[in-house]
Structure 1
């Protein structure tokens, strides 16, 4: 049974940063988190594995971008990625022992964490990358849809 506290995370253009590669990866990660939130108990392990695999790949790519471009606050950003991966791994271990509720809580925490991470840490990275390449901040056009996180507040 799905006992998620909040509605599943959904991608929206409010999370766009103006870097198509990062934005595309974020859209996939948001979808993975939403599926984890709405997964049936018997599907939680598979959904958690999907989040963990995509997050690991995405974070590694972002970490490499930050290191390759000498992004000034990279250490803090990389440490946050490491903390999320550590939490995912810990919850995966607990889920293998039947702790469904900890996986449900993690899913909701990820849905709360993700928009803030994108809008604060990742937006700074996107600005940095755009400034290096074009000498300016990215221009982002939004259609006015709200993310699940914004609708809940």
Structure 2
């Protein structure tokens, strides 16, 4: 199953467009995220939202805002000017969560930022966010310990 969570900072504001056939909304934005180690460069990725989520995205996020994205990751092959092909990652958004970086910010960003994509065309009601005093933390330790007793 392809399911990803990314803590990112919005680099380019979402833009919205519509498909020609059934006028489904599509929003795209560019985001950046920190590397795994301190000396790793920042990564960037294009994020795509569809339907009701796409319509809400431009109203809910701003450039420089930290958010947590939930969705699927896929690789696209894109032709370059020189005729070669390049693989680029694309993130298909299914949910968006607030990512407060401090206690002061968590009080100001608790405006029901969490919302998700739904398959119906009616707007979905925003879900509530955990408004605890503690900032969001992630346990990134591996599920499998580094030492292994298996000899192969």
TM-score by length of 1: 0.24
Q: Which has the higher helix share?
A: 1
Q: Which has the higher strand share?
A: 2
Larger RCO (CA within 8 A; separation ≥ 6): 1
TM-score with structure 2 setting the length: 0.25
